[in-house]
Amino acid sequence: MKMNTDSSQRKDDHLELVSASIVEKSQKDHRFFYEPLFGKHPRKKDLNNCWRIPFLNYQLKAPLWISSMTGGSEKGRLINIRLARAAKKFGLGMALGSCRSILHEGKIREERFEDFHVRSHLGDNLPLMANIGIAQIEELLNKKEEGLVENLLSSLQADGLIIHLNPMQEWFQTEGDRYDKTPFETLKEFSAKATYPLIFKEVGQGIGPKSLKALIELRPYAIEFASLGGTNFSKLESLRSSKEQDPLLFVGHDIAEMISFVKKSYPQEEERKNLPLFIASGGIVNFLDGAYYLQQLPTLNLYGMAGQLAKRAASSEEELFDYIERELLSLMMSSQFLEKKIIE
């Protein structure tokens, strides 16, 4: 019987590619058990019905969180618009980059506001979070201008505020701010006054055990890890200033460490269920990293990406959409056939 032409070509491909297809032992991913018997292949139509993740008053359709990235420039505006459209298409939550430039009324706000004003592209059924730094919060409290944050959220139609904690970044930034109070004092005072959801995050260094426990006890809606291993804004500022690399750039904590910190601080399973929502980010290269960290804690059901998404968004909307679709289908595939090993 004559072999089907497609099948024949496939067999020839196998012969040509067999040597290049060897997977070395050193390449093995040790984080999962591979269980080939109990899953089904996902299809594109399944993307709309696979996940239902509560976030504020919304339901996210996937556990991928678009982490804070950019704004305040023409290029940043285009990236934010494309990210918002992608979030709408796939049912994702989105965080804006630092909104410091549009916090105060004036010419700069008028020029840069549209870089962040993406609600019309995102739609009304998904969460949008604004973002400013702890230094700006300290300044607002000192001047008794906390109301500017409410104005910012209202004008952007944002659902809440992310406060990024970045003492290392400020230290290395040539134009960086200096704190007069500890970030914890500032957050404690501000949290008591805020009437909207708050998320706390770092910017690429991660958060140590004492600080993480202190943040949890302030009862924010969520904590994003922004750990060591991904884009590090301290290193970015060091590169901007062309300074010799400082050893302080390499201190910090990765996602696995931070999960371990939480488990040791809250050893009982019951108390972990009452923790804030956690977003694993910082060093998430692809869906397998996300798959590994999801559900390591009862309230860890999102993983965030920034650089990988910004790269595709800067290229084209089509490339961004294709990338996210592949990521989510592959994440579904991993959930069918992989079993995660638990971080102790």
Rounded average pLDDT over 102-108 = 89
Q: Distance (Å, rounded) from C-alpha 210 to C-alpha 216?
A: 10
Q: How many domains does the chain have?
A: 1
Q: How far is CA 49 from the centre of its chain?
A: 22
Q: What is the pLDDT of residues 160-193, one digit of tens each?
A: 999 999 888 888 877 778 889 999 999 999 999 9
Rounded average pLDDT over 100-111 = 90
Q: What's the chain's average pLDDT?
A: 91
Q: Is residue 158 part of a domain?
A: yes
68: left (phi over 0), alpha (psi -120 to 50) or beta: beta
Residue 19: its pLDDT value, please? 59
Q: In this model, does residue 91 exceed pLDDT 70? A: yes
Residue with tokens 């969460």: 127
Q: Is residue 9 part of a domain?
A: no
C-beta separation of 255 from 293 below 8 A: yes
Q: Is the dihedral of CA 178, 183, 189, 194 positive or negative?
A: positive
Q: What is the pLDDT of residues 260-298, one digit of tens each?
A: 999 999 999 999 999 999 999 999 999 999 999 998 999
Q: In this model, does residue 1 exceed pLDDT 50? A: no
Q: Distance (Å, rounded) from C-alpha 96 to C-alpha 291?
A: 24
Q: Binning pLDDT at 50, 70 and 90, where does residue 343 land?
A: confident
Q: Distance (Å, rounded) from C-alpha 234 to C-alpha 246?
A: 10
Rounded average pLDDT over 241-255 = 81
Q: Is residue 261 part of a domain?
A: yes
Please report how many Cα atoms fall inside a 13 Å half-sphere around the Cα of residue 17, on the Cβ side: 8
Residue 126 maps to which CATH number?
Answer: 3.20.20.70
C-beta separation of 10 from 308 below 8 A: no
157: left (phi over 0), alpha (psi -120 to 50) or beta: left
Q: How far is CA 206 from the centre of its chain?
A: 12
Q: In this model, does residue 2 exceed pLDDT 50? A: no
Q: Distance (Å, rounded) from C-alpha 89 to C-alpha 91?
A: 6
| Residue range(s) defining the domain that contains residue 272 | 33-340
Nearest CA among 29, 313, 90, 68 for reference residue 166: 68
Q: Distance (Å, rounded) from C-alpha 32 to C-alpha 340?
A: 5
Nearest 10 degrees: Cα torsion 183, 188, 190, 196: 120
Q: Binning pLDDT at 50, 70 and 90, where does residue 16 land?
A: low
Q: Is residue 123 part of a domain?
A: yes
Task: Please give the sequence-ordered ranges of beta strands (E in DSSP) within the chain, or none if there are none.
Answer: 32-34, 53-55, 58-60, 64-66, 93-95, 128-133, 160-164, 198-201, 222-224, 277-280, 300-305, 338-340
Per-residue tokens: 258: 């931070």
Q: Which residues, in sequence order, are CB contacts of 7 under 8 Å at separation 6+?
A: none
Q: Binning pLDDT at 50, 70 and 90, where does residue 17 land?
A: low
Rounded average pLDDT over 41-53 = 93
Amino acid residing at 231 = T
- In degrees and rounded to multiples of 5, residue 296 shows phi and psi of -70, -20
Q: Is residue 14 part of a domain?
A: no
Maximum Cα–Cα distance across the chain: 85
Q: Is residue 203 part of a domain?
A: yes
Q: Is residue 98 part of a domain?
A: yes
Q: Is residue 167 part of a domain?
A: yes
105 vs 92 pLDDT, higher one: 92
Q: Binning pLDDT at 50, 70 and 90, where does residue 28 land?
A: confident
